[in-house]
Structure 1
Amino acid sequence: MDLIAEFLLRVLGQFQSPSLAFLIGGMLIAAMGSRLTIPDAVYQFAVFMLLMRIGLNGGMTIRESDPADMILPALAAMGIGVGIVLLGLITLARLPKIARADAIATAGLFGAVSASTLGAAMVALEADGIAYEAWVPALYPFMDIPALILAIVLAGMGKAKSDGNTVTPWFIVKDSLRGSALSALLLGLLLGLLTRPERVFETFYDPLFRGLLSVLMLVMGIEAWQRLSELRRVAHWYAVYAFIAPITHGLIAFGVGYLLHQATGFSPGGVVLLALLAASSSDISGPPTLRAGIPEANPSAYIGASTSVGTPIAIGVCIPLFIALAEVVFTLP
């Protein structure tokens, strides 16, 4: 009982995180009918800064570390992304009143990765003094791209396109790599790996990171509340899936991360970040990619499920949950 009480206290303590406060604040003012809006240009700049900071930091660390350390975690991330899509295919797609294309698109979005959740998780870990390998955020594309590819391939299998064209895996790879999210992340990784950006990182990207993340969380909170109306138009199974999936996917990835910890010494913070990558659902690159790759799917289903339920659960529940779980499992101070 003492262990359970300690665990619950640690979960509640995580809700004092500034990132969660801005997310909840955004939802509250939207619920009150506030007309506050954040210009799209500001939002896009915040996303760019977030991903460039993550990429630069990861690239600089990879340059100073052994790339062999990433092999097993990268393979694990790929397997988790693919597994999430397949899990959605055998669960959500078989529920009543659920269109197969909508279910696969939803699973694909939940198999992909949210940059905002990743950023919030990194801030939470740093605030708690939980160390992680700086290259762990670079696992983002290893989970993101395979999940999107598999979702589009599954949706397209056996379905004739009205225009006679089919979407190939190579098309979605190219389209994902050209997307704003992965482009910024990969650019940061390459610059951090091949150049010496330490001065600009320390004086520009790193100091602005937390402030811009708070803006991003505020926008996500406002949009989450607004998307609830879209979710009401489709089957309620999507809300159930979006509530359960982040926790389930995160627990699976936490288990995989624990095995990596035992086998390779993967850090507790790395285990938490891997779990939160899996718990997140794409809010930037995924929606436009799936709109193009699975045009027959209903965006109200997969985007509504992700934005209105999945992302708040990932940030508001999964971040404190998995940090608290790591503190107990790894006996962190």
Structure 2
Amino acid sequence: MVFDPIVLFFLLGLLAGLSKSDLKIPAAIYEALSIYLLLAIGLKGGVELSKYPLSQLLTSSAVVLAAGMLIPVIGYPVLRFVGRLGHYDAASIAAHYGSVSVVTYSVAVATLIERQWTHDGYMVVYLALLEMPALILGVVLARVGEQREGQPGGWSALARIQWGRLAHEVFFGKSILLLIGGLLIGYVAGVKGYEPIAPVFKDAFKGLLALFLLEMGLVAASRIAAFRSYGAFLVGFAIVMPLVSAVIGIVTARYLGFSQGNAALLATLYASASYIAAPAAMRIAVPQANPALSIGASLGVTFPFNLFIGIPVYMGMAKTLIPG
């Protein structure tokens, strides 16, 4: 279990929410913290990326994306035929688990630093890349379900989706825009350009992440009650699916020759589930899906599971299966 103080901040928020405390983080502060974290991660990755030739990452990026697409493809039939969920809900939840969580990645990075594991900053490139394809695939899976069940629309409904609006939501939504923007700024600025702003975006990162996790604990507590009424299957899925995804990450990392630190981060990325970009995109493209199921699974179960159990497990997998 991770006993790092930043994770205990999440536990404090969770306990406050479950005990009906009047503790609240003002919306403006929460918004500012999320913007800061996204920019800080992007900047650090851009600075690290500036140390490597871009051609070096092309092959690995393609492999990481291809392997990542397996996650919603595996998750959808399990949700649909084992869990007996409707195809809209199955597609939406699969998209959430194919996408990634920036905050989970941030905690993993902080944990690696705490335990003195080395990793490469360019891993944030994969963070930015992995959030988008699964969302598009989730829409396609929903339309496949329509076709299979003979419901109105089917494949022809693909043409009626507001693809422009969906693409704008995905590519110009806050998380992707700030990640890629920070990445480009860090890449252009390089190590020397980053030094003057490092006290803000590097030294203060962990403390501000702790405050953000306090709010995440409050939010997670508010989702548990609604999620609980849908049965034990989704709880099990929200725990088992991250472990399966992490194995895909470790296998991919081993194939690409990643270090143990990079492998642990890739496993964490694959094991995480989106609760920011994915809900917004699915609300537009698959409005028939129940957001309480997807958000309850990703934020109410998978997020705390990864923080307290998953990340140490993924690090152990990397240490055992990846050459030191």
Q: Same fold (TM over 0.5)?
A: yes
AA matched with 2:75? G
What code does the residue aligned with 1:77 have? Answer: V
Q: CA deviation at 1:163?
A: 9.6
Match of 2:211 in 1: 215
User: Which range moved further: 152-161 or 51-60?
Assistant: 152-161
Amino acid at match of 2:127: Y
Of 15-24 and 238-247, the range deviating more from structure 2: 15-24
2:160 equivalent to 1:166: yes
Helix, strand or coil: the match of 2:314?
A: helix
Query: Residues 56 and 201 of structure 1 are in contact (CA less than 8 Å); yes or no, is this contact kept in structure 2?
Result: no
Q: Distance in 1 between matches of 2:171 and 2:280?
A: 13
* Corresponding position of 2:228: 232
Q: CA deviation at 1:170?
A: 6.0
Question: Aligned pair count?
Answer: 315
| Equivalence for 1:65 | 52
Q: 1:8 aligns to what?
A: none
Match for 1:302 among 294, 302, 308?
A: 294
Distance 2:164 2:63 in 1: 22
| Aligned counterparts of 1:116 and 1:142: Cα–Cα separation in 2 | 16
Task: Note closer, same or farther for the CA distance 1:307–1:96 as it changes in structure 2 (3 Å cut).
Answer: closer
Q: For residues 63 and 96 of structure 1, what CA distance do their matches in structure 2 show?
A: 45
Residue in 2 that maps onto 1:90: 77
Once residues 314 and 23 of structure 1 are traced to their aligned partners in structure 2, the CA distance between those partners, rounded to angstroms, is 12
Distance in 1, Cα, partners of 2:122 & 2:83: 42
One-letter amino acid of the counterpart of residue 179, structure 1:
G
Are positions 1:270 and 2:266 aligned together? no
How far 1:237 sits from its partner (Å)?
1.8
Q: 1:244 aligns with which of 240, 247, 261?
A: 240
Cross-structure match for 2:131: 144
Change (3 A) 1:169 1:85: farther
- Provide the TM-score with structure 1 as the length reference: 0.88
**Is residue 2:25 matched to residue 1:38?**
yes
Distance 2:142 2:158 in 1: 15
Mapped contact 1:115–1:284 kept (Cα < 8 A): no
SS in 2 for 1:131: coil
In the alignment, does 2:143 pair up with 1:156? yes
CA distance in 2, matches of 1:323, 1:170: 39
Alpha-carbon separation, structure 2, partners of 1:36 and 1:192 = 36
- Quote the residue 1:280 is aligned against: 272
SS at match of 1:91: helix
1:105·1:302 contact (CA, 8 Å) conserved in 2? yes
**How many percent of aligned residue pairs carry the same amino acid?**
27
The answer to whether the 8 A contact 1:137-1:273 is kept is: no
Which of 281, 291, 310 is residue 283 of structure 2 equivalent to? 291
Cα distance, 1:202 vs structure 2: 1.0
1:227–1:308 CA contact under 8 A, matched in 2: yes
Matched residue, 2:95: 108
- Equivalent AA in structure 2 for residue 225 of structure 1: A
Partner of 1:4: none
Partners of 1:273 and 1:136 lie apart in 2 by: 8
Partner AA of 2:77 in structure 1:
I
Name the Cα RMSD after superposition: 2.1
Indicate yes or no: 2:177 matched with 1:190: no
Structure 2 residue matching 1:296: 3-state secondary structure = coil
Superposed displacement of residue 172, structure 1: 3.3
Evaluate the alpha carbon distance shift between residue 69 and residue 318 of structure 1 in structure 2; reply closer, same or farther with a 3 A threshold: farther
Match of 1:77 in 2: 64
Is the 1:153–1:167 contact (alpha carbons within 8 Å) kept by the matching residues of 2? no
Corresponding letter in the other structure for 1:173: A
Partner deviation per Cα, 1:184-229 (whole Å, 9 max, x = no partner): 1011011112235413431211122111110111111121121111
Q: Is the aligned partner of 1:325 residue 2:324?
A: no
- Opposite residue 227 of structure 2, the aligned amino acid is L
Q: Are the aligned partners of 1:58 and 1:137 in contact in 2 as well (CA < 8 Å)?
A: yes
Give the equivalent residue in structure 2 for 1:256: 252
Is 2:17 the counterpart of 1:23? no
Question: Letter of the aligned partner of 1:295 in structure 2?
Answer: P
Contact 1:156 1:167 in 2 (8 A): no
Distance across 2 between alignment mates of 1:17 and 1:215: 13
Aligned equivalent of 1:316, options 300, 308, 317: 308
Q: Which amino acid aligns with 1:206?
A: K
CA distance in 2, matches of 1:127, 1:141: 24
CA drift of 1:71 comes to: 2.1
Q: How does 1:44-55 map to 2 (within 5 A)?
A: 44-55=31-42
Q: 2:92 & 2:168 partners in 1: Cα distance?
A: 18
Give how far 1:74 is off. Answer: 1.3
